[in-house]
Amino acid sequence: MDDDLRKARELAEAGDVGGLMRHLRFTAVRLAIGDTAPLVGRAAELMGFTDLVEAAAGVAERPGHPQALYAYGYACIERGVAFLAIPALRAALAGEPGSLGILRELVAGLEDEHRHGEAVAVLAEHEADLPPWPDRYLLAYNALMAGDLDRAAAESAGLPVPDDERWLPARDRLARMVERARAAQAVGPLDDRDLRGWHFALSGGVLATLSPYGFDQGMTGRYAYLSDDFGACLRGLLRLRTILEAAGRSPRAVALLPGRGDHALGLAAAQVLGLPGEPFAPGRTDTVVVAYDLNEADGDVLEALFERLPGQVLYEHATCWTDPPPISADVSALTCQTVVPPWGERLRYGPDGSVEKSPPDERGAEDLAAEILRADPAADEGDGATPPDTDDVLARFVTGVAGVWAAGGTRDRVRSPGPVRSSRFI
């Protein structure tokens, strides 16, 4: 028996669902679907996922049958394990090469895994048979997410007005992304290492700082785990000021969100920008709305911020790139996978070398804001591999894209890291 399959069976028999999924993420492509589906079914049974249990049993009953494989792939995507769906859906499509339903589900799985280049390739194999909506749209979208701006622009320009008005937001979103990508391309390389350029193209937001560590070792400007500090908070706000000045924006106030951390950062922002602070209210224009982490924001606030208002700028300090917030900020101080805020519970080494937790900082928002304002904002020099990330570099970028930055539309969530990849914890 193959070692990979033997290990998978041991994990399944032990009921180690997490271990099995981690193992299959790297080995499923080499294993037969008929061997892995029963193991996935066992894991699904332990999790109470009856749909996936039934779909896995269907593959066992009808091995190689396209519809059984499709049902299994569909269930895998629904349960968040698209990497298991992709081999099954490829096999299903090979059995029914003309099925647009199977093709679309395969593309959905590839998108979930951020394998946009493969999505373009499989769509291109069936290009002659693709209707405009949604299939040629999917070709344009995945071409853009894979970094092929020319193809994305050409495909997008050729799309007719969709008959189904539910596709109108997708059409408009794609057009804005292409327009922003062209603007970013005019002021930078827009290649697979241009994180600031692609962050802007895809989200509409300006990335204020790049991580100074591991740029050429898989991070390309993003953080993985970050133990944040007050100095970084101040540095982000100073960069926000640089961005507003470079874009020629003159907001009248800082909108303060109710969360303690958000409120503290907003109070500090008001001081840095020389503006009054006022409680956030939906519909107010010409304000800077300040959040620490939008994944922690109130749902009603997020809903109110989905549409960009004239002169309104949404600032987020720590933007999660592996679990993006429901809306995209107009300015992100930094991007990370996991962040511990300066006032959060932190890990530290005890006198005997053991690791222990330090208590959170329970001070009020005013005291935290004062701590931010008196912190040292000097940037960490890092390992020297990150490209220059000075205020001047940032200002030149913002000046070049100012015409399409925060210029209306919606703050759409961006689920994929796009053409610039970074290492992540699984």
CB atoms within 10 A of CB 388: 8
1 pLDDT tier (thresholds 50, 70, 90): low
Place of tokens 């002021």: 187
Residue 15 — very low, low, confident or very high, per pLDDT cuts 50/70/90? very high
Q: What is the mean pLDDT of residues 116-145?
A: 97
With respect to residue 91, please indicate whether it lies within any of the assigned structural domains.
yes
Residue 424 located in a structural domain: no
Same-domain status, 80 and 120: yes
Whether residue 39 is found in the same domain as residue 156: yes
The crossing angle, in degrees rounded to 10, of helices 66-78 and 82-95 is 160
pLDDT given at position 137: 98
What amino acid is encoded at 136 in this protein? R
- If DSSP codes are grouped into helix, strand and coil, which group holds residue 392? helix
Three-state SS at 130: coil
Same domain, 239 and 166: no
**Any idea what DSSP says for residue 359?**
P
User: Is residue 18 located within the same domain as residue 73?
Assistant: yes
Residues 251 and 152 in one domain: no
Tell me: do 13 and 125 sit in the same domain: yes
- Does any domain span residue 411? no
Give the pLDDT of residue 153. Answer: 98
Q: Is residue 416 part of a domain?
A: no
Half-sphere exposure of residue 319: CA atoms within 13 angstroms, side-chain side: 32
Confidence label for 52 from pLDDT (cuts 50, 70 and 90): very high
Number of domains the chain contains? 2
- Select from 345, 374, 378, 401 the least CA-distant residue to 212: 378
185 domain-assigned: no
User: How high does pLDDT run on average in the chain?
Assistant: 96
Domain range for 251 is 194-404
The beta strand positions in 181-274, using DSSP E, are: 206-207, 225-227, 253-256
| 175 and 68 in a common domain | yes
Do residues 393 and 239 touch, judged by C-beta distance below 8 A? Answer: no
Q: Is there a domain that residue 413 lies in?
A: no
Is the pLDDT at 276 greater than 90? The verdict is yes
Question: Which among 132, 152, 179 is the end of a domain?
Answer: 179
Distance CA 30, CA 18 (A): 19
Token digits of residue 324: 């993006």
Does residue 251 form part of some domain?
Answer: yes
322 and 372 inside one domain: yes
Tens digit of each residue's pLDDT (9 = 90 or more) over 72-95: 999 999 999 999 999 999 999 999
Residues 206, 59 share a domain:
no
Q: What percent of the chain has pLDDT over 70?
A: 99
pLDDT at 426: 75
CATH number at residue 18: 1.25.40.10
Domain boundary among 156, 179, 202: 179
Q: Quick one: 149 and 216 in the same domain? A: no
Same domain, residue pair 150 and 229: no
Between CA 178 and CA 149 the distance in angstroms is 7
Domain CATH number, residue 306: 3.40.50
Are residue 128 and residue 200 in the same domain, yes or no? no
Q: Is residue 254 part of a domain?
A: yes
Cα separation, 394 vs 157, whole angstroms: 31
| Cα dihedral 202/204/207/208 (nearest 10) | 170
Burial of 426 (0-12, 13-18, 19+ CB in 10 A): exposed
pLDDT of residue 355: 73
- How high is the pLDDT of residue 198? 98
Q: Which pTM does this prediction carry?
A: 0.95
User: What phi and psi values does residue 288 have, to the nearest 5 degrees?
Assistant: -105, 115
- How many helices (DSSP H) and strands (DSSP E) are in the chain? 17, 10
